[in-house]
A and B are shown apart, each in its own frame.
Chain A
């Protein structure tokens, strides 16, 4: 079945440093979604990417969909303590599949 791999599993940064998480699929995707889950919370939708090579920005967050539509990345510029949490990618090729997430911790 559909699988998505996310790397790294954990990332610890100093406040102000950048952060990137990657999501890779073995198959071509029609679209990909990104979610953020704060500690003790539930996943919250961030963005959907649909087009090959698409880049979308939300303030300090930049989302990219690969040209082959098999991978995606989320980049945070100048992290803040409010960015802590686990970031998940989700694909839905007939069945919703989440990656195992990248957990970001930020040291003030």
Chain B
């Protein structure tokens, strides 16, 4: 497809479980971002990849959160020992270039519910 693809679209998990969220960016986009969005708020930055490396992971809330992008394309956001407060929509976005000059193209998000 032409857009950013995120799977699954919905994920329900029990407190304490491990989850993986996948993002497939637009082909050729070198930059990839993960955000978390709660109801009534704007997307909250988590991590930014340029190619395979995490250029900025300062938004990850704690060490339960980790993300990888091993081949510079698909990325996986991993959350260990999930907590109810992790419930949110996790958005992935990709862009053509670096820095602030390239618009972000968002996927439809993964709605994570921790029970």
Binding site for B on A (CB under 8 A): 6, 30-31, 33, 35, 41-45, 48, 88, 90-101
- A40, closest chain B residue (CB): B108
- B45, closest chain A residue (CB): A96
**Cα distance A41–B104 in the bound complex, in angstroms:** 15
- The 8 lowest CB-CB distance pairs between A and B, nearest first, are A98-B42, A92-B100, A45-B103, A42-B106, A100-B42, A96-B45, A98-B43, A43-B106
- B59, closest chain A residue (CB): A95
Contact A94 to B56, CB < 8 A, known contacts A43-B43, A99-B42, A100-B42: yes
**Cα distance A30–B45 in the bound complex, in angstroms:** 19
Is B99 engaged at the interface, CB distance under 8 Å to the other chain?
yes
**Cα distance A88–B41 in the bound complex, in angstroms:** 10
Closest CB-CB distance, B111 to chain A, in whole Å? 10
* Mask: chain B, 45-85; 1 = CB below 8 Å from A; 0 = not: 10010000000101100000000000000000000000000
Closest CB-CB distance, A59 to chain B, in whole Å? 18
B106 touches A100 (CB 8 A): no
**Cα distance A100–B40 in the bound complex, in angstroms:** 7
25 contacts between A and B (CB under 8 A): A31-B100, A31-B101, A33-B100, A33-B103, A35-B104, A42-B91, A42-B107, A42-B109, A43-B43, A43-B91, A43-B104, A48-B101, A90-B42, A90-B104, A91-B100, A92-B100, A95-B45, A95-B59, A96-B45, A98-B42, A98-B43, A98-B44, A99-B42, A100-B40, A101-B42
Closest CB-CB distance, B44 to chain A, in whole Å? 7
Q: Which residues of B contact A41 (CB under 8 A)?
A: 108
Q: Which residues of A contact B41 (CB under 8 A)?
A: 100-101
Is B105 engaged at the interface, CB distance under 8 Å to the other chain?
yes
